[in-house]
C-alpha cells in the first residue's frame, strides 16, 4: 500500500498514475483536509485526518510536500507510534534523503525519487509520467523496495548520488523553467513585430516542435541553426539594435545566450558584436 503526505500537484499526479499502473493507493494526508479529499477522490482512496493511522496502514509513504516542509514533516512522523518498518520517499530534485534522517534513525528506509517532469496540471502530468525517468537516491538497501515496485510496473528509473543532486537539479531547472522564460522573452519581440497571437501561437509551436525534433536525434551542437552558426554578422547586429531601441531589458539575455552559443560550437566569428 502506498500513501502520500502532501496532496499537491505531484502527490496527486503520482497517485493517479500509480493507481492506473496497478499500484494500490491507501490515501492522502495533507495540510488541509480539502486537498487530501480531492486527491483521495481521484484515486479512489481515503483522505485521512490522522497521520499515524495512514502511515501504519501503508508500506510506502511519499512525502510530496513543498521542499521546505519535508524535513519538519519527517520529524513529525518520526514522533508517531509506527508499528513496522516503512519506506519513506520524498520527491525533491534538490534535497537528498538526508532530510529524512529522523525517520532513518527510527529504523525506516528513506530515499528520494525525483520524477524529471514539469507538473503543471494533474491531467497533463499523468499523461507524461509513463515516459518520465525517476531519479532515485539513497542507500542501496533502502532503495531495494522502491526499485522492485518500479521494475514490476516497468517504470523508468536511474540512480543518482547525493553529491550529484545540486548540479542535476540546476540542469533540470535550466530546461524546464528557463525555456518558459525564453518563450516569454520571445513573445515580447513578436508583440513588438505586431504578430497577433492567433497567428503566432500555432507558428511558434511548430518552430519549438522543430527544435525539439532536431535535438532528439542529435546533440545540441548539431541541432543548432541560425545566424551564429552561419556567422551572419549583420543579422545579429540588427537584432541587437532593435533590442537596444525597444526592449533594452532583453539585450543582456540575448547577449549572454549568444556568447554561450558561440562557446558551444567553438565559433567566435561574432565575438566583437556581442562584446560591443
Ligand X SMILES: NC(=O)c1ccc[n+]([C@@H]2O[C@H](COP(=O)([O-])OP(=O)(O)OC[C@H]3O[C@@H](n4cnc5c(N)ncnc54)[C@H](OP(=O)(O)O)[C@@H]3O)[C@@H](O)[C@H]2O)c1
Residue ranges in contact with ligand X by CB under 6 A: 5-11, 30-32, 35, 64-67, 69, 73, 91-93, 114-115, 117-119
CB of 58 to ligand X, least distance (A): 15
Give one word for 44, left, alpha or beta, with left for phi > 0 and alpha for psi -120 to 50: left
Residue nearest to ligand X (CB): 8
By beta-carbon proximity to ligand X, the closer residue of 32 and 234 is 32
CB of 123 to ligand X, least distance (A): 14
Whether the CB-CB separation of 130 and 146 falls below 8 Å is answered with no
Whether the CB-CB separation of 47 and 37 falls below 8 Å is answered with yes
Whether the CB-CB separation of 160 and 137 falls below 8 Å is answered with yes
CB of 92 to ligand X, least distance (A): 4
By beta-carbon proximity to ligand X, the closer residue of 29 and 274 is 29
CB of 203 to ligand X, least distance (A): 27
By beta-carbon proximity to ligand X, the closer residue of 23 and 236 is 23
By beta-carbon proximity to ligand X, the closer residue of 95 and 270 is 95
CB of 14 to ligand X, least distance (A): 9
204: Cβ contacts below 8 Å, ≥ 6 apart = 183, 186, 190
Q: Roughly how many angstroms between the first and final C-alpha of the chain, as a whole number?
A: 62
Query: Residue 47: helix, strand or coil by DSSP?
Result: strand
Q: Residue 106, class by beta-carbon neighbours within 10 Å (0-12 exposed, 13-18 middle, 19+ buried)? A: middle
By beta-carbon proximity to ligand X, the closer residue of 8 and 227 is 8
Amino acid at each position: 500500500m502506498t500513501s502520500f503526505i502532501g496532496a499537491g500537484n505531484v502527490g496527486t499526479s503520482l497517485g493517479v498514475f500509480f493507481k492506473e499502473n496497478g499500484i494500490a493507493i491507501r490515501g492522502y494526508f495533507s495540510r488541509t483536509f480539502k486537498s487530501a479529499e480531492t486527491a483521495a477522490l481521484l484515486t479512489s482512496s481515503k483522505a485521512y485526518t490522522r497521520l499515524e493511522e495512514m502511515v501504519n496502514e501503508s508500506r510506502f509513504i511519499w512525502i510530496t510536500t513543498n521542499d521546505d516542509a519535508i524535513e519538519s514533516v519527517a520529524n513529525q512522523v518520526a514522533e508517531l507510534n509506527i508499528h513496522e518498518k516503512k519506506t519513506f520517499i520524498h520527491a525533491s530534485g534538490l534535497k537528498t534523503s538526508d532530510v529524512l534522517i529522523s525517520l532513518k534513525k527510527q529504523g525506516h528506509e528513506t530515499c528520494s525519487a525525483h520524477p524529471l517532469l514539469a507538473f503543471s496540471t494533474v491531467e497533463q502530468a499523468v499523461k507524461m509520467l509513463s515516459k518520465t525517468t525517476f531519479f532515485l537516491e539513497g542507500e542501496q538497501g533502502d532503495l531495494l523496495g522502491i526499485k522492485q515496485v518500479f521494475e514490476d510496473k516497468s517504470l523508468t528509473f536511474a540512480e543518482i548520488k547525493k553529491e550529484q543532486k545540486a548540479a542535476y537539479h540546476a540542469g533540470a531547472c535550466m530546461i524546464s523553467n528557463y525555456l518558459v522564460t525564453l518563450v516569454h522573452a520571445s513573445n515580447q519581440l513578436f508583440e513588438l513585430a505586431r504578430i497577433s497571437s492567433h497567428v503566432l501561437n500555432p507558428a511558434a509551436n511548430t518552430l519549438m516542435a522543430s527544435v525539439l525534433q532536431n535535438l532528439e536525434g542529435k546533440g545540441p551542437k548539431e541541432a543548432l541553426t541560425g545566424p551564429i552558426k552561419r556567422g551572419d554578422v549583420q543579422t545579429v547586429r540588427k537584432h541587437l539594435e532593435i533590442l537596444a531601441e525597444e526592449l533594452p531589458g532583453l539585450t543582456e539575455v540575448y547577449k549572454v545566450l549568444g556568447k554561450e552559443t558561440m562557446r558551444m560550437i567553438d565559433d567566435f566569428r561574432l565575438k566583437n558584436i556581442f562584446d560591443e
